[in-house]
């Protein structure tokens, strides 16, 4: 059975796109800047499969090894640098407009409508770091019972609440209400539940985070695969990113290692999934946004060390695609995603050796390639590179 595994290294860009200046991202280079900042930077397994061949980065080997398969980089054609839009493009949707941002907070009439629906006032309503705002407003939240509302440089509406004040299920209900209200010009990409616990000056966020994404505006590759009677499996944030659309099964994860282990488990299973789709978010969420270069490298090393297990478990007809959804340069200014190319590595027993796929004009080329490999008719703007990489 033909099967494709996609692993998205969330936020791992590989150099600024030509229009990066329009996004205030001139000079962003997630992988290159991390490599230059870390003494002894080395990702032996990713390098063996061609990572250093994509772009000249002094710390990465540019010489193909006997393991190197197909490599290249993708432009994001959508006018955005958002996680949801990046994943949508990987599955065939090119978005002409980015999701709206609210750096000054959300309009007062919306806030009043939201408060009326949840029958509580809110605190915050500003752009802020999630860890900082719970320390700033956590005590007042505990005293009043009012949820903390905030946004960020991303298109998000986030609600934070202490688990002993507003239970997780109630917090999820509030997020569902917000999602139902945030449409049209207010249609942010994600509404996010952010439960936390602990005492003053010691508040910590818990793993029960939940994203309520805007549904894709049209069918994605996931939907088409499912409609053809084939099975798809999402790991990590994939279910949330696609609002559950196009998935026949899924598992959430608590961190990258959990995501890698669950990916390996599904690859080894006897279940007939035609597409396994994994998001590894730690590089973005824990280290990119927090501008933690050392942590970012640590996360990359963890992925790199686990990679041989994934590859060795792949079957003869499997194709493994490693890519990203946007950049999130921890050595760059601010806390936002960065507008960058993303790496593209294609690995498998039937993939030719040392194939340079060059610069792909859109992430949707991945969707087109998968559709062709699975013999699925899917009208998308991406261009398949299957004929360039398959042996025989």
Alpha-carbon gap, residue 366 to 384, rounded angstroms: 7
Is pLDDT of 18 > 90? yes
Q: Are the C-beta atoms of residues 235 and 229 closer than 8 Å to each other?
A: no
Is pLDDT of 387 > 80? yes
Q: Which residues contact 161 (CB under 8 A, 6 or more apart)?
A: 141, 147, 148, 170, 171, 174, 193, 194, 195, 196
- Tokens in use for 250? 């899924």
Alpha-carbon gap, residue 13 to 328, rounded angstroms: 7
Please give the model's pTM, rounded to 2 decimal places.
Answer: 0.92
* Residue predicted with more confidence, 389 or 129: 389
Q: Are the C-beta atoms of residues 360 and 343 closer than 8 Å to each other?
A: no
Q: In the predicted model, what is the mean pLDDT of residues 205-221? A: 92
pLDDT computed for residue 272 by the predictor: 94
Burial label, 216 (beta-carbon count in 10 A; 0-12, 13-18, 19+): buried
Q: What is the DSSP code string of 279-346?
A: EE-HIIIIIITTT-HHHHHHHHHHHHHHHHHHHHH--TTEEEEEE-SSB--TTSSSSS-B-B-EEEEE
Q: In the predicted model, what is the mean pLDDT of residues 10-31? A: 97
- Say if domain 108-213 classifies as CATH 3.30.70.330: no
74 confidence band (pLDDT: 50, 70, 90): very high
pLDDT computed for residue 105 by the predictor: 96
Residue 175 main-chain phi, psi, to 5 deg: -65, -40
Is pLDDT of 379 > 90? no
pLDDT computed for residue 207 by the predictor: 86
123: helix, coil or strand? strand
User: pLDDT for 39-69, tens place per residue?
Assistant: 999 999 999 999 999 999 999 999 999 999 9
Q: In the predicted model, what is the mean pLDDT of residues 80-98? A: 94
Alpha-carbon gap, residue 248 to 278, rounded angstroms: 14
pLDDT computed for residue 143 by the predictor: 96
pLDDT computed for residue 241 by the predictor: 95
User: pLDDT for 244-268, tens place per residue?
Assistant: 999 999 999 999 999 999 999 999 9
Alpha-carbon gap, residue 234 to 6, rounded angstroms: 10
- Tokens in use for 157? 């509406």
Is pLDDT of 392 > 80? no
pLDDT computed for residue 154 by the predictor: 84
Is pLDDT of 378 > 90? no
User: pLDDT for 264-322, tens place per residue?
Assistant: 999 999 889 999 999 999 999 999 999 999 999 999 999 999 999 999 999 999 999 99
Look up residue 4 and give its DSSP letter. E
Q: Which CATH superfamily is domain 3-97+215-389 in?
A: Alkaline Phosphatase, subunit A (3.40.720.10)
Is pLDDT of 129 > 90? no
pLDDT computed for residue 109 by the predictor: 97
Alpha-carbon gap, residue 344 to 368, rounded angstroms: 14
Residue in 19, 79, 71, 29 with CA at minimum distance from that of residue 49: 71
What is the chain's mean pLDDT, rounded?
96
Alpha-carbon gap, residue 220 to 217, rounded angstroms: 9
pLDDT computed for residue 200 by the predictor: 85
Q: In the predicted model, what is the mean pLDDT of residues 365-369? A: 98
335 confidence band (pLDDT: 50, 70, 90): confident
Q: Which residues contact 162 (CB under 8 A, 6 or more apart)?
A: 138, 141, 142, 195, 196, 197, 203
pLDDT computed for residue 130 by the predictor: 86
Is pLDDT of 131 > 90? no
Residue in 283, 278, 316 with CA at minimum distance from that of residue 302: 283
84 confidence band (pLDDT: 50, 70, 90): very high
Q: What is the DSSP code string of 243-269?
A: TTTT-SEEE--SSHHHHHHHHHHHHHS
Hey, where are the domains in the chain?
3-97+215-389, 108-213
Alpha-carbon gap, residue 190 to 208, rounded angstroms: 16
Distances in whole angstroms, Cα of residue 237 to Cα of each of 87, 255, 336: 10, 11, 19
Alpha-carbon gap, residue 356 to 359, rounded angstroms: 9
Q: Are the C-beta atoms of residues 232 and 246 closer than 8 Å to each other?
A: yes
Q: In the predicted model, what is the mean pLDDT of residues 174-196? A: 96
5 confidence band (pLDDT: 50, 70, 90): very high
């Amino acid at each position: 059975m033909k099967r494709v595994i996609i692993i998205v290294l969330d936020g791992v860009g590989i150099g600024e796109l030509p229009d990066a200046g329009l996004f205030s991202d001139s000079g962003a280079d997630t992988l290159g800047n991390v490599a230059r900042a870390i003494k002894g930077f080395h990702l032996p397994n990713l390098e063996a499969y061609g990572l250093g061949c994509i772009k000249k980065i002094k710390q990465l080997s540019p010489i193909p090894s006997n393991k190197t398969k197909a490599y290249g980089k993708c432009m994001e054609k959508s006018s955005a640098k958002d996680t949801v839009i990046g994943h949508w493009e990987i599955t065939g949707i090119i978005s002409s407009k980015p999701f709206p941002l609210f750096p000054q907070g959300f309009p007062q009439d919306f806030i009043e409508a939201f408060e009326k629906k949840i029958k509580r006032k809110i605190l915050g309503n500003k752009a802020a770091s999630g860890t900082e705002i719970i320390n700033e407003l956590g005590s007042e939240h505990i005293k009043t019972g009012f949820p903390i509302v905030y946004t960020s440089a991303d298109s998000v509406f986030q609600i934070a609440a202490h688990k002993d004040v507003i239970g997780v299920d109630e917090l999820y209900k509030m997020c569902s209400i917000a999602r139902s209200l945030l449409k049209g010009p207010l249609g942010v990409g994600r509404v996010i539940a952010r439960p936390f616990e602990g005492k003053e000056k010691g508040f910590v966020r818990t793993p029960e985070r939940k994203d309520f994404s805007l549904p894709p505006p049209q069918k994605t590759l996931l939907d088409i695969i499912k409609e053809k009677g084939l099975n798809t499996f999402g790991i990590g944030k994939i279910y949330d990113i696609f609002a559950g659309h196009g998935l026949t099964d899924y598992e959430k994860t608590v961190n990258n290692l959990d995501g890698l282990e669950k990916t390996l488990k599904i690859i080894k299973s006897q279940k007939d999934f035609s597409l396994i789709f994994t998001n590894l978010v730690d590089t973005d969420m824990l280290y990119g946004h927090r501008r933690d270069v050392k942590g970012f490298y640590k996360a990359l090393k963890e992925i790199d060390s686990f990679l041989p297990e994934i590859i060795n478990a792949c079957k003869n007809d499997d194709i493994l695609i490693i890519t990203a959804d946007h950049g999130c340069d921890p050595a760059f200014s601010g806390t936002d995603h960065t507008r960058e190319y993303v790496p593209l590595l294609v690995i498998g027993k039937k993939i030719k050796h040392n194939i340079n796929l060059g610069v792909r004009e859109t992430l949707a080329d991945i969707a087109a390639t998968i559709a062709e490999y699975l013999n699925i008719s899917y009208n998308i703007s991406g261009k398949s590179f299957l004929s360039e990489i398959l042996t025989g």
